[in-house]
Structure 1
């Protein structure tokens, strides 16, 4: 196994520098929100360690599944990616994905064995996604339905992560659905945001939302996703008693996002493309930080 090649692979396809902080916040915030919504104390450190491990393993497994199902398209249209250009083999990446399965299962089992049922639910949906639900051509001809069906895995992952708190804690809070909806919409924010390209960077055979809808309309859809996300964030904040501070903090983020979208719509340059991808990630990072940590910090003051 060439460790140098694997390091290059992660930098290009699963960048730990960006992924680790985002998933640490995502997993920890999910556990905190579940406890706050139910009025329970935070669980022990083991829940947070299990949550981070599960998030890392699942998102890596999602990347592995993408490599498998997109290989032919990558060979035809994106030969510069690590697997098509021969940096690493698909076989190696798939085996690393397989090796991550027992790690995820062990993390769930050691904290609270019934959580394995929620993990199995995520894996079932991931397997269905990888098989394109058995209707690959039909789905690809309907990009919006494709997006929604694939982003459904986000609330399932969040159901698992929050389950680390509510399963041993005595049940899920009634308002948890708003946080799961927030995760679904945030998945759309990330997915659409990373596929808003400049015209000169569009690649024949590669579907992007900027090509599908045009830069202006695609930026409008992305901005609408951000606003829906903000709405669900405020719903969670109201349920945890943190509406106004979340409104101020989240509102500032919304203004930044809409400003970036407006700039991209007017001039979809390569720099605007990179800005949209970055702003999408920062918005999601901020959302989970506000939802999960503001209540904990305010009650500790």
Structure 2
């Protein structure tokens, strides 16, 4: 099979281009908008948005490559149907593609604003540590919630870079209240990660770590709901900080109610159908969160 065809199959299974790109367009645009509103500034030029999107897209692919490396042995033993263990593509090719993104992202960053290379370097440093499981893989895997926190910590670092595309060239320092938005990124990372690891009973398999197997479906659904509720509280704080509390609260409340209802359905009947609903709802929640935080201020007549 031609290489391009095999790469296309790989992206469909492991890094869906359309879904990922839509999420990253909303994520990067909303993050830049929040930064500008927190600083009381107009939105920056299109180059800031383009830089943030392109570099973040590369970083997210590198995250996927990192996952392929650290999960290689588990995939070989317990998930042989995945593209790399079944021989569709080699692990070396995926890693090389991730490495090839480094000079591209660095060049795009430096051409836009040379000082931005430092927050990007911070992201890559954490990503490198993640690839080696912080040099304590067995110890970390034995503590799943510490594992979750250590890996999701990269989300606010990525968001720091994205928002820096707005505040670093224009003000030189983060705007007041940005920590709320970075905390929201961390918690939303947990919402995504837990949501994709709530399995239906028939889909659980030995050697594949899931929160539903670790905690049981009901407690796992409760943990997912708690993360979503915490994200909702942070979203309200961001809405207040960008002077758009009412529209953000309305959108967030509707999304929270839908998410909690989804969690309740899964807890009552943890099967493949409700597993897919939870996974989809986790992504939708994050999309709505960033959309509300970044674009509601525009509707509320905030700074443009």
With the shorter chain as reference, the TM-score category is over 0.9
Query: By how many angstroms is 1:296 displaced?
Result: 2.0
1:231-242 pair list within 5 angstroms? 231-242=233-244
Deviations 1:130-184 (A, max 9, x none): 1111111000000000000100000000000000111012121120000000000
Query: By how many angstroms is 1:95 displaced?
Result: 1.1
Where structure 1 has 5 or more consecutive residues not aligned to the other structure, the ranges are: none
- Equivalent position of 2:47 in the other structure: 46
Tell whether the 8 Å contact from 2:212 to 2:220 is kept in structure 1 after alignment: yes
Tell whether the 8 Å contact from 2:247 to 2:300 is kept in structure 1 after alignment: no
CA distance in 2, matches of 1:34, 1:144: 30
1:1-301 pair list within 5 angstroms? 2-170=3-171, 171-299=173-301
TM-score in terms of structure 2 length: 0.97
CA distance in 1, matches of 2:29, 2:221: 30
Deviations 1:71-91 (A, max 9, x none): 111000000000000011111
CA distance in 2, matches of 1:80, 1:16: 20
Query: By how many angstroms is 1:219 displaced?
Result: 0.2
Deviations 1:248-285 (A, max 9, x none): 11100000000000000000010000000000000000
Query: By how many angstroms is 1:16 displaced?
Result: 1.0
Where structure 2 has 5 or more consecutive residues not aligned to the other structure, the ranges are: none
CA distance in 2, matches of 1:130, 1:5: 24
CA-based RMSD of the aligned residues comes to 1.1
Tell whether the 8 Å contact from 2:192 to 2:282 is kept in structure 1 after alignment: yes
Query: By how many angstroms is 1:244 displaced?
Result: 1.1
CA distance in 2, matches of 1:285, 1:104: 24
Q: How many residues align?
A: 301
User: What SS is found at the alignment partner of 1:100?
Assistant: helix
CA distance in 2, matches of 1:162, 1:270: 38
User: What SS is found at the alignment partner of 2:206?
Assistant: coil
CA distance in 2, matches of 1:19, 1:282: 12
CA distance in 1, matches of 2:35, 2:225: 27
Deviations 1:204-250 (A, max 9, x none): 10100000000000000000000000111100100111111111111
Query: By how many angstroms is 1:297 displaced?
Result: 3.2
CA distance in 2, matches of 1:112, 1:294: 28
CA distance in 1, matches of 2:266, 2:18: 25
User: What SS is found at the alignment partner of 1:299?
Assistant: coil
Query: By how many angstroms is 1:99 displaced?
Result: 1.0
Query: By how many angstroms is 1:54 displaced?
Result: 1.2
